[in-house]
Amino acid sequence: MIDLYTCDTPNGRKVSILLEETGLDYTTHIVDIRSGEHKEPAFRKINPNMKIPTIVDQDGPTGTPIRVFESGAILQYLAEKSGRFMGNDAVTKVECQQWLSLVVTGLAPTFVQVYYWLQHAPNATTPEITEFGLQRYQEEMKRVVGVLDFRLREYEYLAKTYTIADMAAFPWIDRHEFFGFSLDDFVGVQNWYNRLSKRGAVQRGMNVPAQN
């Protein structure tokens, strides 16, 4: 059994999508990051970085519980545990790793920065600085989405086959309207997004934790 500590954010949902795809048994523990629950001592014992998602696999590689934090590491751990979604040959495994790295270190951080400048900066700094910061990160966000689009105009998935790289990217792209860009401007990403949206496991994973 896997204990998943998460909340309703793209970072959390990439892991729940993979759990649904693999069929691994898991229990969801909701961490209310808006009230600061992730900063409490009890949660810090689970994740010293005090962020979601985090998992505790009660049946780790040595037969004892193991804690895994950082979403990219969790995805790789669960893919290896299930033996699925890391690429079906040596080439696609490399492709999976490089696209996962781009999503985790390039795509996701720019979305987070846009969120900050949209939601928090207006109350913390001047309109001129807010406008500058928002424009800077929205341009970078769209640039990285364009990198995905360049790839997805040629292939159905980021690593040619469906992998954890796609699962890592999907929850961020799902928020495109909030983040201020249209999928009409990224045909490859749009087709990929529509294709993944039809997967039952993706639909279930995007509803973890369940919406009221």
Name residues of the chain where pLDDT drops below 50: none
Domains within the chain, CATH numbers bracketed: 2-85 (3.40.30.10), 90-199 (1.20.1050.10)
User: Whole-angstrom Cα distance, residue 7 to residue 52?
Assistant: 7
Tell me how far apart the alpha carbons of residues 89 and 170 are, in angstroms, rounded to a whole number.
23
Q: What angle do CA 117, 184, 200 make, to 5 degrees?
A: 90
pLDDT score, position 212: 52
123/151 Cα distance (integer angstroms): 38
Per-residue pLDDT, 119: 87
Q: What is the pTM of this model?
A: 0.94
Alpha helices, DSSP H only, in 30-107?
41-44, 71-82, 90-102
Q: What is the DSSP letter of 3?
A: E
- pLDDT digit string (tens) for 128-185? 999 999 999 999 999 999 999 999 999 999 999 999 999 999 999 999 999 999 999 9
Distance CA 207, CA 166 (A): 17
Q: How far apart are CA 92 and CA 160, in angstroms?
A: 7
Tokens describing residue 193? 């997004």
> What confidence score (pLDDT) does residue 108 get?
97
Residue type (1 letter), 186? F
Helix (H, G, I), strand (E, B) or coil at 71: helix
Burial class (CB in 10 A: 0-12, 13-18, 19+), 71: buried
